[in-house]
Structure 1
Amino acid sequence: MPDEVTHPLRLAFMGSPDIAVSVLEALIAAGHDIACVYSQPPRPAGRGKKLTPTPVHAYAEARGIEVRTPKSLKKPPEQEAFAALDLDVAVVVAYGLILPQAILDAPRLGCLNMHASILPRWRGAAPIQRAIMAGDSETGVDAMMMEAGLDTGPVLASARTPITGEDTAGSVHDRLAALAAELAPRALAGLADGSLSPVPQTEVGMTYAAKLGPDDQRVDWARPARDVDCHIRGLSPFPGAWCLWTPPGKDEPVRLKLLMSRRSGRETSAPAGMVLDDNLLVACGDGSAVRILRLQKPGGKPMDADQFLKGQAIAPDTVLA
């Protein structure tokens, strides 16, 4: 059982993207003492390639909290600086760096990771996208005590949410951010007073949510409509699934980013990738079809399909590759 402590806890917060900001905000609101925030270093962004801090960095800095952005935590000086914070606990949300054992051991109560899946399902870097792409019906947030293995630590508390056919990675992300913000203060309180005990993970049902790469993005129309639909929604709004389309009168295909879709009950014998009507119903494998509801062409803005088609028709019998 962890040592009993009283609030507020002295903690470091370690996170980078938007989903982590809501958790940091909740911990501040709960009255915890945020000794320091760790985040990924600023990176070039936008047309001017200006160095831009992460959302967590910007949020913490605006509130006068010290922010550290080391490229690695493997060297002794960084580990000593972390240990000198004299922490009760560290809270980690999509930080982006591996924590060496010296970092994991430094806080009195250890390091608590808010992981965006129901462990052991989808350990790794892209759990939200992978859950939708795989057609999972449910996901959630686990408050996990960190250890040396990748997302293998015991789970302290959980929250769950369904995944529907209307969901994208963006909509699930937003729900999980809200769940994580609600769960983190409760998990910390239970860790501090001993009312919550970490439960070891089983290895049954373990999957790995590999980081998304270019090979994950192209739509394979030969797959069944269920798979194509999950693929499109799982990569929306970023990085976006895509296919190739050759506009009328053009020799070179352009890349269409597909941002929303819906499975159709229509059966077809048409080749996979063929457009079946004037409203972007596309043939898939196994005689199934999917309707594209939202898309984007290079240099353009995301548009609903009806708006897109007013400016540029994609006629029946067109083949998308």
Structure 2
Amino acid sequence: MTGLRIVFMGTPDFACPTLAKLIERGENVVAVVTQPDRPKGRGQQTLPPPVKTLAVEHGIRVLQPVKVRLPESIEEIRALEPDLIVVIAFGQILPKALLDIPRLGCINVHASLLPRYRGAAPLNWCIINGEAETGVTTMMMDVGLDTGDMLLKAVTPIDPEETTRELHDRLSVMGAELLAETVDQLAQGRLVPEKQDDGLTCYAPILKKEDGQIDWTKDAQQVKNLVRGMTPWPGAFSCLDGKLLKIYRVQTADGSGAPGSVLKAGRDGIEVACGSGSVLLLELQLEGKKRLPAADFVAGCKVEPGTLLAAKGTPIV
């Protein structure tokens, strides 16, 4: 416990372990700022953000401004007199007027090894791009997009089979531990901020559903990386007989043929040719049907060798 007055800003599941760590340490979290409750799921039921749920469970005051840059939102946070603001996956850009409030600044927990993968979707893009390792970085926030001075880093290898969901869960815990260490060093005056080298950066833009469309002219490893990086959302997909085909798990193989063509289909999977090599589809879901392992899928949906799955740019029916 550092005795600092801390305002925590975060919204999704990824931020919860960090808030839980601050609570566990007995830190003085004077308020949590999170996004407004929003409709979710098929029933569009209005639900609170995960961070709000956790804060309420522990009796922490919750603020949910529609726009944190509005003067009244800034003044409400200023009135809390925080020594430090901790930000992780909040979901809104913080204005300079807010960044200037805490005497010790605003610390962000970012899910990449900065300066690589600045932006909204670093977890997805590091897997899609075939990175062998990633990690979390704490940084002092400035008005740029993930451009502030770096504080501490924690590095981890990416398992070749790991999906974004699995990596998300690991890095959320790593981020909590790193933030705790960062706060301790901050309180002890031992942090040494390091400028980012803009020449080493790359951008990780927010994902759109269409980013999940598989380009079968890519090599097998690239296709596999896309499937891993798009799981669980927005999901990798192609098209089979005019219907959307969602693909959740694949493994690479060494078959050859016209990109997107089915080489064979059986209980072990559906083998599809890529620009180089092939992939075995292991878990998939046809439009209007359940998500199934390949053995169950082919038992109910006959897929003949030579069937062509939609290539990139083919309209999705």
TM-score range, shorter chain: over 0.9
- Residue 310 of structure 1: how far off its partner (Å): 2.5
TM-score for both structures, normalised by structure 2: 0.93
- Residue 52 of structure 1: how far off its partner (Å): 0.9
Q: Is the 8 A contact 1:153 1:200 kept in 2?
A: yes
Q: Is the 8 A contact 2:209 2:235 kept in 1?
A: no
Aligned residues: 307
Query: How many angstroms apart in 2 are the aligned matches of 1:311 and 1:182?
Result: 47
Query: How many angstroms apart in 2 are the aligned matches of 1:48 and 1:293?
Result: 30
Confirm or deny that 1:150 pairs with 2:137: no
Taking structure 1 as reference, are residues 113 and 313 closer, same or farther at Cα in structure 2, changes over 3 Å only? same
Query: How many angstroms apart in 2 are the aligned matches of 1:320 and 1:305?
Result: 16
Q: Deviation string for 1:143-188 (max 9, x for gaps)?
A: 1110011000111111111112211101110110110111111111
Query: How many angstroms apart in 1 are the aligned matches of 2:304 and 2:82?
Result: 62
Q: Deviation string for 1:6-64 (max 9, x for gaps)?
A: 71221111111111011110111111111111111111113332211111111112222
From 88, 96, 107, the counterpart of 2:91 = 96
Q: Is the 8 A contact 2:16 2:51 kept in 1?
A: yes
From 268, 275, 282, the counterpart of 1:285 = 275
Q: Is the 8 A contact 1:294 1:303 kept in 2?
A: yes
**Secondary structure at 1:167 match in 2:** coil
| Equivalent position amino acid for 1:297 in 2 | L
**Quick check: 45-54 or 35-44, which moved more?**
45-54
**Secondary structure at 2:295 match in 1:** helix
- Which residue does the alignment assign to 1:231? 226
> Which structure 1 residue ranges, 4+ long, deviate > 4 Å from structure 2?
none
Stretches of structure 2 that go unaligned for 5 or more consecutive residues are 311-317
Q: Is the 8 A contact 1:191 1:197 kept in 2?
A: no
TM-score for both structures, normalised by structure 1: 0.92
Instruction: State, as a whole percentage, how many aligned pairs show the same letter.
Output: 42
Query: How many angstroms apart in 2 are the aligned matches of 1:73 and 1:65?
Result: 19
Q: Is the 8 A contact 1:165 1:262 kept in 2?
A: no
**Secondary structure at 1:227 match in 2:** helix
| Equivalent position amino acid for 2:263 in 1 | L
- Residue 76 of structure 1: how far off its partner (Å): 1.5
| Equivalent position amino acid for 1:277 in 2 | K
- Residue 304 of structure 1: how far off its partner (Å): 2.1
| Equivalent position amino acid for 2:83 in 1 | D
Query: How many angstroms apart in 2 are the aligned matches of 1:190 and 1:22?
Result: 20
Confirm or deny that 1:257 pairs with 2:251: no
- Which residue does the alignment assign to 2:314? none
Structure 1 residues 62-211: aligned runs within 5 Å: 62-211=57-206
| Equivalent position amino acid for 1:281 in 2 | E
Taking structure 1 as reference, are residues 34 and 301 closer, same or farther at Cα in structure 2, changes over 3 Å only? farther
- Which residue does the alignment assign to 2:261? 274
| Equivalent position amino acid for 1:75 in 2 | L
RMSD over aligned Cα, in angstroms?
1.3
Query: How many angstroms apart in 2 are the aligned matches of 1:220 and 1:306?
Result: 24
Stretches of structure 1 that go unaligned for 5 or more consecutive residues are 1-5, 247-252
